[in-house]
Structure 1
Amino acid sequence: MSLMRLAYASEATFEAKPVEKGVEPHVARILMTSRRNNAKGKLVGGLYYGNNRFFQYLEGEEDEVRKTFDRILKDERHRNVVTLIEEPLEDRTFSNWSMKYVPLSRDVRRFLESQGLEAFEPASFTSDQCEDMIELVRNSSHDQKLVNHDDTRTVGDTPQAFSPGLKAGLIAAALCLLGALFFAGSML
């Protein structure tokens, strides 16, 4: 069987809802379904959603990619689908992602700035911009964390490593440990 890769852009037909758990709820459902279906077809790739637009990249066996893209074309959650890349592929470039979601809104903002683009409109990407976006998706290192492109944090903001509850629990555990050490030391 031959491998192929395909990238497309489209516009969402749904009205974006407030972000839940780091991702727009419609997009979260798309991701869950895509991950399940793509794993069955041994497809890999990535998805980015921002400015009410999708950019998706797929690679795998040609029959599976085409079957998946046919299903995508019929999906009523988006319209104005534009194929950006559709070509043979010698080797897979994504290792183990059934559908990676790009959580790096700062990286996408930097990408847009470096390209002189004011908004995320992937249907108008040049070939080079499309390849750069695929590379951005491929190199995203945040595993399965989901963060919306329209995140309002600024570039200088950093996410917290621990939730407030976890911090409180760690502090309580540390105090208990210090108390036990102090008590044990006084017994000597």
Structure 2
Amino acid sequence: MAYAVLTVQWTLAGVFLVSAAAKARAFRDTSAMVEQLLARVARSAARRLTRPAALLLVSAEAATGLALLGVRQTARPGLVAALVLTAGFTVLAVLATVSRTEVSCACFGRPTARLGRRHVVRNAFLLALACLGCWGPAAAGVPGAAAPALTICATAAVVVTVVTALYDDIVELLKP
């Protein structure tokens, strides 16, 4: 089970680091998404809060990803942060879906689709991973000499990270 938790840690680290890097690279699109979301809550303050909120979002994702790559002392708080962030993202996706709000998802940088059901599904999967990580045994119990197992963990983490980052593109390809 410790290997599963380690794979979850590395997967979530990859997802958050790729997301933070993509959002930083396409910061204008990230700011536009944040402004659309803030306008739903605080229309008058949306313009003024957009840039700080977008910077906070990118920073929180990067810090979470780095914490998940760290040692036992940072991995557990990183898993909790991943759980909280992913829960928040899931709530936003559900609210956007239910209210049919037009919010462009710039989840991994450039907006690819309207925030909706597909994002709820993706985020529910990530939320399940974060829950497994939080309530599973500490990954620090993994023996250091198990190189083949660590290679499998890393490979699985990379594959899931890539699929997650390209999820919108994959869904579009598979649409009839």
**Larger relative contact order, structure 1 or 2 (CA cutoff 8 Å, min sep 6):** 2
Report the structure, 1 or 2, having the larger helix content.
2
Q: Same fold (TM over 0.5)?
A: no
The TM-score with structure 1 as length reference comes to 0.25
Report the structure, 1 or 2, having the larger strand content.
1
Larger C-alpha radius of gyration, 1 or 2?
A: 1
The TM-score with structure 2 as length reference comes to 0.26
